[in-house]
């Protein structure tokens, strides 16, 4: 089953290297496949380089998609770190 959630990026700088690394760190705790989508571009949620290529700025809306046995829990964990502004503020 595929789960997805849209969320706004609200930290000051957007998705730079540290937040992208945090997303990958959390995503890799799950067996599910995870993708992050912005403006029709899709990135592997378990790849820092792939995430950085999305050029996600503050205020951007991204869609997190997950497919697999723990997809819903993966989405919940990723939404939590994004809402917490990646611990930056």
- For 3-25, how does the pLDDT look when each residue is reduced to its tens digit (9 = 90+)? 999 999 999 999 999 999 999 99
> Catalytic positions, please?
16
Q: How far apart are CA 66 and CA 55, in angstroms?
A: 20
Q: What is the pTM of this model?
A: 0.95
Structure confidence at residue 22 (pLDDT)? 97
CB 89 within 8 Å of CB 11:
yes
Residue 77: strand, helix, or coil: helix
Task: Please check the confidence at residue 89 and state whether its pLDDT lies above 90.
Answer: no
Tokens of 77: 């964990």
Measured CA to CA, the distance from residue 18 to residue 10 in angstroms comes to: 15
What is the rounded distance in angstroms from the CA atom of residue 25 to the CA atom of residue 23? 5
């Amino acid at each position: 089953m595929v789960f997805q959630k849209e969320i706004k990026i609200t930290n000051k700088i957007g998705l730079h290297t540290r937040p992208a690394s945090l997303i990958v760190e959390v995503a890799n705790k799950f067996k599910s496949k995870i993708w992050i989508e912005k403006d029709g571009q899709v990135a592997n949620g378990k790849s820092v380089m792939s995430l950085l290529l999305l050029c996600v700025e503050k205020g951007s809306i991204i869609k997190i998609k997950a497919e697999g046995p723990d997809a819903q829990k993966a989405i919940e964990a990723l939404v939590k770190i994004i809402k917490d502004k990646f611990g930056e503020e």
